[in-house]
Structure 1
Amino acid sequence: MPRAVVACLLAVVATTFGVVGGSSAGAAPPTDTLSVAPDGHGTACSTHSPCALDTARDQARSLVPTAPGDVVVELQGGTYRLTSPFRLGVQDSGRPGHPVVYQAAAGQQPVLTGAVKVTGFTRVDAARNIYRADVPAGTAARELFVNGVRADRDRGPRDPSGFSVTSTGFTTADPAYASWTDAARVEVVRDSGWKQMRCPLASLTASASGGSNLTVDPACWNNNHTSVPHPGFPFNGAGLPTLDGVSWLENAYQLLGTPGQFYLDQDAGHLYYVPRPGEDLATADVELPVASQLVDASGTPGHLAPLDDTDWRAVYTGSWNYSGGRPLGDLNADVHYTSTDGDAVSYTFTGTGIQMLSETNDDEGSADVYVDGTKVSTVSGDGPVRLAQQAMVSVTGLAKGTHTLRVVKTGGSYLLVDGFTVIPDAIAPVHDITFSGLTFTGTAWTAPTAAGYVDNQAGVLWDPTTHTPTRIPAAVQVHRGLRITFDGDTVTHTGTSGIDLADQTQDSAVTGSTVTDTAGTGVAIGEVDDYYQTDPALMTSGDTVSGSVVQFPGQEYADAVGIWVGYSRGTTLSHNDVGYTPYSGISIGWGWGWASDCTLQAKQGLPTPCAHGTTYAGGHHIVGNHVHSVMGALFDGGPIYTLGGLASPAEFTGNVLAECIDGCNMIYHDEGSSQWNTHDNLVRYGNGSLWLNLWTPSIHDDSIHDNWSDTAAYNDNGTNISFQQATVVTDGNWPAAAQALVAAAGPGIRPGPQADDDDLRVAYSGSWSSSGSRNLGDLDNGVHYTEHDGASATLTFTGTAVGFLTETNSDEGDVGITLDGVSRGTVSADTPQRHVQQKLWSVSGLSDGPHTLTVTKRGGSYLLVDGFTLS
């Protein structure tokens, strides 16, 4: 679908949730319905006298306990401009089987936005066609949308030449940079490998040789260049690349002049913009996102992360020793340890529970666990192999208050303490809430403006100060949710990620929804720092993304992916369409080789002794997804990418993986991936990519069989892999079973005015290739092309009109047109100059039913398929 098009909202049928009034036998119980509007007020919350959203939420709390069915909050159409998130807590939950439902009123389109509308533009620079509007001084924003299309922060040319690295940043012989104003707002951006790095500048000065020195903010330079965070397993792999070059410079007034780019003078309160052809700023809808979040549904506790054994609250009594810099996978590479029975560690905390991380090994022994002076258990660290960061002690369910944990060594050679996780509140998820038919848009994330963007991989970052893992925040955020559902919703045009099912959210779902044009990740599930959990209540589990469209993620942060899954159990990703990504389409798992044993790590060439632990992840079902047009900006990813080991088997089947742009592996089970049953997938248009890459011995115990591919190239260097070569198909001659797989993949046909060249309704016969990120104005920035006369592309569609979009140029030739098996003659794509998205042939007035349109190359050097228009 075109990136500027928002999917149609789905009307919610009344019988889905019950109806108000009488009911017949067997009918759903009646609902309690509250009505809200953008200008709602008062407390009636009725259709004729709607209230505000917050008012309806508060009233719903009192209705839930006695409601015979669902409690429904209907949002009338219009724009709800939010300056702070709509917050839902445990007290706002529904009941199992009867959620609180926030839904669009029938036939209406409510839009929740964190953007402000900007008006009053005047032209201030005729030569560069720059317009300016006033916004409140101090307004912080990194995104702008004009008539529903993302504008770019102004930037210089891609990969500029002449920059050299210095000890504090970069230098160049070009003297122009030294004259730029407001250097602290200028950002240097580097795309390298699988990472994007960003840093603000500290200064721009003239060099002694007459050029310019670009001094990068010192803290950001340290984080992205000099001392990149690299704790190793389970938090990251290589740690590289670094900010060692300039991909482009961004956000300087002097760079303005390109249509569709803007500059915000935050201090003065001036927004500058260069309109695109056809944009009239007197009437245009100009939206400046300023709010950081739209929905926050939070249970308790919030995010849980371990604290080191050196935490000030840990008191060690007896003859304890400290060991730092251990390359064994310890938290922060250190532990406290004792060999004396009777030695103890105490930890006083405020909360409802606590976990203590230790190590298991054959020289570890037993310990008694006391809470507030009362013995609650005896635990043991004895095990056949060394495993780091094990939750040896886990105490939950305490009354909230101040407690003291005391662990006393009673046996074995050693007791080790590696860290503590405090559970500050009762485990109480926000639960049974549904959002249906709503649009969420216009969020801002401004943290990189001051501190830069310190990337790890796939939208997982390092906190610039603590160097602990963090992630791009989302417009719609769920923290510790249970049965939270997004059905038929749209998230679009954000400066953040889209939807995040975070902090061990369980049994929640994104179904039939559209997430598109996000600055960060489309949909995220799980965390990266809860790998050690053994308590099912403290795991991410049972979440689903199905029947959804996730396209154009990473529009600002190019390392972000369409769907990201961290540590989780039983995640289902089913029949989604994920595409047009700058990095991988779907990324599943974390930890690299952490869960692979030391023998496998040694075979990979990793240090011995090794950093080895466990994870609770596994049981995933990755089924029937269409993932396409990926790797548009970065390198070393793929349509579906897995990482790290699993504790239980997972299935990877029925997926159609296509159109890799660059630096890709089509089925990419990366470092540590294990227990994947990968079968009955179809791979095509990899543009030189391997259809399968198992590159290193720490990838182990996977089964690869019964797949189809248009290339035979693969890499199997894993351990204990059951491998069967794919059935290799040439010239689009897919057998019936493969064609059935294509027909079943993705969310099904979605109505819209266009079908892109990589739409599953298009079948290519003959020798074809794909080309993406051409930046020439193609529909969705890519095409399929052939150099062979007789090669054809066939669109199967239902409708009354169709048109063929292509590129015309001097190297294009004649194109044969066939509709429903009948020749409609020949048209020519030969023109003296290049023109993109040209409707070379069209027809209307067809009977409303199924049709097939075939275009066939008849001459010239190339035939390009850019897409089709549909009625």
Structure 2
Amino acid sequence: MSDARARTRSGLIALAAALATTGALLGGPGAAADDGQRARAQDVWVSPHGHDDAPGTAHRPVRTLDRARQLVRSRTAHLTADLTVHLGPGTFRLDHPLALDAADSGGNGHTVVWQGTGSTVLSGGARVTRWRPAPDHPGLWSAPAPQGLDNTRQLYVDGVRAERAAGALPVTLTRTDTGYTASADTLAHWRNPADLEFVYTGGTGVFNARTYGLGGWTEPRCPVAAVHGTEITMAQPCWDNSTKRAVFPDNPGRTVNMVGPGSLTEHAQPAYLENAFELLTQPGQWYLDRTERTVYYRPRPGEDLTDDGTDVEAPVLQQLVTAAGTAQAPVHDLAFRGLRFEYATWLTPSTPEGFSEIQAGYTLTGPNGYATEGLCGYAQGGSCPYGAWTKEPGNVSVQHGQRVEFSGDVFTHLGAAGLELGDGAQQSTVRDDVFTDISGNGVEVGGTDVTDPATAADITRDNLVTDNHLYALPVEFRGGVAVLNGYSRHDTISHNQIDHIPYTAISLGWGGWPDKIKHPATPNYSHDNEVSDNLIHDHMQVLDDGAGIYTQGLTGSSLADGEKVTGNVIHDQWGIGKAVYTDNGCTYETVAGNVMYGVSFADVASRHTDYRDALGNNDPTLISGNWWEEGTPDGDNKGLVTRDNHLLADPSDAPDDVVAAAGVEPGHRWVLDVRTAEPAVPAAPLRVGTFAADGAVYATWSPAYVDHGSPVESYRLTATGGGRSVTAEVSAEDFARTGYGVVPGLADGTAYTVTVTARNDRGRGAESVPAAPVTPTTGGGAQPAAITGVTGYASAGAVSLHWAVPESTGDTPVIGYTVTASDGRTIAVTGRDALDTQPARKAMFRVVDGLEPGTTYTFTVAAVTATGTGPVGTATVTTPAS
């Protein structure tokens, strides 16, 4: 083990010991931290250094989890107290999942506790050793694939995820029915072209970054099946599921699944390629040559693979723990405490199924998925219920589990969803856990199967997700979310901190899409769910059309039992979306007492017609008592009630008690200090878009939200063209303020590509995939259009100023706005929303504070481009008397 890895481990051991001393490691029944806890004869001890012929006592522990499970089964019939399986420190390397069922449950009112030390690792990985410099490839290293490693999608070096080899397309592609025709046969000459994966990143298309994917909230992936000359055949069924989604015959623009387009954008190229030896150009990238059974890696600065202490791990298993009950025989009364779940992968996206995303990590699968999956009642042969698509599996999974607890655990270095509490999850708890460095969703509760409520054992209900820290995830399937809750009753998601994520933080509900064709949402059994007192920030870092808290579909039968979103603090969103997004069919939602600021497009939205009858009302929704920048006045818009909200002129004006209560509670905040590896250089930025001006190139990009434990300090832009490269440095603070950077001193008439790297105190990370080339021209482009639709919603001392985004000005898009007030102030409006709202045609708003009560003000707004400032729009607003 390297010194860095050892320091991280020893720090966690010390933390676990401190928690055990204070009883903070969830001292429920059977926990090792209970005061006065004494070892019981029924308990089982396990150590990586034990022996399965031993009796499983404290002094003679067994070695494997399977043997421990056998001993537990022999002792559960007559429990008089909780039975604890004491898992010692160190790594348990699993060659198959720990599989539990109803027979492994607690009984007689007592729990079977699988108790770790905080440094107990359940690993599905294989260590990669015997590294040597790769011949004829300076800077590249190779090692034989360990036994059992036939495929994987992840590699970790001293606990830091390496980046799967990725890069830009070396050719131009033209779509065909079966794939593409390339402009040259370049890919056919690569080492293993059938290993290639095409990635289609969704987005709004800021600057010249084209919109890929199957909606701005998605990042689908399809493998290549074969390359012959210039003909590229894509893998099936991924290709059909991503390009032939069923559409309504009388409405060809509307897919029958009603979520996103029916096909990958016709003229779009993949955003980038992944998984090829030829793409191994950046430090920190890796590739597994399955034919040669060789792992290749290009070390980051300071990494020494000749050191036997360097820990390189390749995940092999796809699941670490499965607790699988049935409706008739649920698994129950289990607890997993103080454990680290690490190094599991998920291989379905590497098969011809690929990853044909719909939303929130759900995909279409099977050879007829595009025509039938989840299309009940709307397509011939459609499977039921409507909207029941394929969910990501959990690397740790519970199906039909009652009173199952995960507490004081760490879920990290995982390749699917971290933890899945599937259909029939009841009275289960996810508390005081850390979720990070996970490829897909963090926590999944329930699903999309509308079970007959009479089948009580299948209903998801009464689950608690609280006091967890979820951050820097998903890192591979970026359309996923931190906490996903499907159909359920009485579930509570509360006091979590969720930060630095590529898309939505918390997503609830399902089945609301039929309102797009004026049908009511899919009936379901959900009611009385609560999302309260969470702290969410730095979300929507890559994708668009999401939220801090996203919800849709029927949430109950009235406002009394509908979903409650209360007391959350949500701020500093990057992409286009909302703080709280009430999407299709969202009915009986209450959004109250939240603090929301620094959000693109809207704080709470949106309005939807209630199609359960023909009255033309809106879905009943109550938005009250929030502190927000949106400033929408009180009103009752056909059932969409807005009242008693407060205009937030400055974040410091938010009520102290709401801010203090949001996020992880005192006594549990140690989860905010847990890290799973020593700090390292940041990941490469994503979605670089550019446009050219006179003698300069402007660039924007998605932040390096995976900073590997050390905040990003700056970004470097490198513009390459005409035989030279020009760089510019942008501080992270300036980038957050403006949303872009500029490379000046370029030659007009020369085409340039731009890459971006991120730097923290550990050094500079890998280069991004380059943006498409752009060419600076003398004069720089057209002047911006005039601003229209300026209006303001005022409080006694501030106004929320709103305006319509002007038409695109071609090759010089809007980069900001200038607001002037009649009191003599001029305010520069910049930020990512100033860039994103133009191609998305969304409105802008900003709060202007420092106003006098009972005073009339005139405001003007003008758009700013690299070429100049356009004509103004004007509004006159009178502040109310205090």
| Identical counterparts, % of pairs | 31
Structure 1 pair 91–252 and aligned structure 2 pair: CA distance change class (3 A): same
- What secondary structure, in the 3-state scheme, does the structure 2 residue paired with 1:438 have? strand
Match in the other structure for 2:629: 710
| Pair 1:214 & 2:232 matched | yes
Q: Distance in 2 between matches of 1:531 and 1:433?
A: 25
Match in the other structure for 1:76: 88
Q: Distance in 2 between matches of 1:116 and 1:492?
A: 16
| Pair 1:436 & 2:348 matched | no
CA contact (8 A) 1:692 1:715 kept: no
Match in the other structure for 1:630: 539
Deviations for 1:317-338, whole angstroms, at most 9, x for unmatched residues?
xxxxxxxxxxxxxxxxxxxxxx
In structure 2, runs of 5+ residues without a counterpart are 203-215, 374-388, 611-617, 680-699, 715-728, 736-755, 763-827, 832-882
- What secondary structure, in the 3-state scheme, does the structure 1 residue paired with 2:167 have? coil
**Letter in structure 2 aligned against 1:746:** G
| Pair 1:655 & 2:568 matched | yes
Match in the other structure for 1:459: 361
Q: Distance in 2 between matches of 1:30 and 1:138?
A: 40
Q: Distance in 2 between matches of 1:162 and 1:5?
A: 45
Q: Distance in 2 between matches of 1:497 and 1:437?
A: 19
Q: Distance in 1 between matches of 2:42 and 2:417?
A: 33
Match of 1:682 among 588, 595, 599: 595
Map 1:193-208 onto structure 2 (within 5 A).
193-206=216-229
Match of 1:118 among 93, 104, 128: 128
Match in the other structure for 1:266: 290
Match in the other structure for 2:261: 240
Q: Distance in 1 between matches of 2:244 and 2:658?
A: 49
- What secondary structure, in the 3-state scheme, does the structure 1 residue paired with 2:162 have? strand
Match in the other structure for 2:581: 668
Match in the other structure for 2:346: 445
**Letter in structure 2 aligned against 1:743:** A
Match in the other structure for 1:504: 424
Q: Distance in 2 between matches of 1:680 and 1:142?
A: 42
**Letter in structure 2 aligned against 1:290:** V
Q: Distance in 1 between matches of 2:237 and 2:288?
A: 24
CA contact (8 A) 1:96 1:432 kept: no
| Pair 1:154 & 2:165 matched | yes
**Letter in structure 2 aligned against 1:701:** P
Map 1:72-471 onto structure 2 (within 5 A).
72-95=84-107, 97-105=109-117, 109-125=119-135, 127-135=137-145, 136=147, 139-157=150-168, 162-192=172-202, 193-206=216-229, 212-227=230-245, 236-240=257-261, 242-244=263-265, 245=268, 246-283=270-307, 284-301=310-327, 427-451=328-352, 452-465=354-367, 467=369, 468=373, 469-471=389-391
Match in the other structure for 1:67: 79
Deviates more, 1:444-453 or 1:562-571: 444-453
**Letter in structure 1 aligned against 2:628:** S
Match of 1:615 among 489, 510, 524: 524
| Pair 1:57 & 2:69 matched | yes
Q: Distance in 2 between matches of 1:501 and 1:529?
A: 14
Structure 1 pair 580–161 and aligned structure 2 pair: CA distance change class (3 A): farther
Match of 1:747 among 664, 673, 690: 664
Match of 1:646 among 539, 547, 555: 555
- What secondary structure, in the 3-state scheme, does the structure 1 residue paired with 2:74 have? helix
CA contact (8 A) 2:541 2:705 kept: no
**Letter in structure 1 aligned against 2:235:** D
Match in the other structure for 1:362: none
- What secondary structure, in the 3-state scheme, does the structure 2 residue paired with 1:65 have? coil
Match of 2:460 among 540, 549, 565: 540
Deviations for 1:535-558, whole angstroms, at most 9, x for unmatched residues?
322211111100001122221111
Deviates more, 1:570-579 or 1:29-38: 29-38
Q: Distance in 2 between matches of 1:809 and 1:562?
A: 24
| Pair 1:837 & 2:729 matched | no
- What secondary structure, in the 3-state scheme, does the structure 1 residue paired with 2:481 have? coil
Structure 1 pair 230–481 and aligned structure 2 pair: CA distance change class (3 A): farther
Q: CA deviation at 1:809?
A: 9.7
Q: Distance in 2 between matches of 1:79 and 1:572?
A: 33
Q: CA deviation at 1:277?
A: 0.7
* TM-score calculated relative to the size of structure 2: 0.66
Q: CA deviation at 1:48?
A: 1.6
Q: Distance in 2 between matches of 1:654 and 1:251?
A: 44
CA contact (8 A) 2:246 2:257 kept: no
CA contact (8 A) 1:481 1:506 kept: yes
Structure 1 pair 137–70 and aligned structure 2 pair: CA distance change class (3 A): closer
Q: CA deviation at 1:611?
A: 6.3
- What secondary structure, in the 3-state scheme, does the structure 1 residue paired with 2:240 have? helix
- What secondary structure, in the 3-state scheme, does the structure 2 residue paired with 1:177 have? helix
CA contact (8 A) 1:190 1:247 kept: yes
Q: Distance in 1 between matches of 2:636 and 2:475?
A: 34
Match in the other structure for 1:383: none
Q: Distance in 2 between matches of 1:279 and 1:482?
A: 46
Q: Distance in 2 between matches of 1:717 and 1:216?
A: 51
**Letter in structure 1 aligned against 2:302:** G
Number of corresponding residues? 639
Q: CA deviation at 1:241?
A: 5.6
Q: Distance in 2 between matches of 1:714 and 1:155?
A: 48
CA contact (8 A) 2:259 2:358 kept: no
Structure 1 pair 631–228 and aligned structure 2 pair: CA distance change class (3 A): farther
Q: Distance in 1 between matches of 2:31 and 2:414?
A: 35
- What secondary structure, in the 3-state scheme, does the structure 2 residue paired with 1:471 have? coil
* TM-score calculated relative to the size of structure 1: 0.67
Q: Distance in 2 between matches of 1:783 and 1:659?
A: 16
Match in the other structure for 1:822: none
C-alpha RMSD over aligned residues: 3.9
Deviations for 1:782-824, whole angstroms, at most 9, x for unmatched residues?
7799xxxxxxxxxxxxxxxxxxxx9869989xxxxxxxxxxxx
Structure 1 pair 780–696 and aligned structure 2 pair: CA distance change class (3 A): farther
Q: Distance in 1 between matches of 2:475 and 2:340?
A: 19
Question: Normalized per residue, which structure has more strand?
Answer: 1
- What secondary structure, in the 3-state scheme, does the structure 2 residue paired with 1:742 have? helix
Q: Distance in 2 between matches of 1:810 and 1:238?
A: 36
| Pair 1:720 & 2:744 matched | no
**Letter in structure 1 aligned against 2:296:** Y
Match in the other structure for 2:703: 774
Map 1:18-57 onto structure 2 (within 5 A).
32-41=42-51, 42-51=53-62, 52-57=64-69
Structure 1 pair 218–62 and aligned structure 2 pair: CA distance change class (3 A): closer
Deviates more, 1:652-661 or 1:34-43: 34-43
Q: Distance in 2 between matches of 1:196 and 1:717?
A: 38
- What secondary structure, in the 3-state scheme, does the structure 1 residue paired with 2:77 have? helix
Deviations for 1:729-777, whole angstroms, at most 9, x for unmatched residues?
2233414x2x221111111443639999xxxxxxxxxxxxxx9933499
Q: Distance in 2 between matches of 1:444 and 1:137?
A: 13
Deviates more, 1:470-479 or 1:2-11: 2-11
Structure 1 pair 632–276 and aligned structure 2 pair: CA distance change class (3 A): same
- What secondary structure, in the 3-state scheme, does the structure 1 residue paired with 2:153 have? coil
Q: Distance in 2 between matches of 1:253 and 1:86?
A: 35
Q: CA deviation at 1:165?
A: 2.4
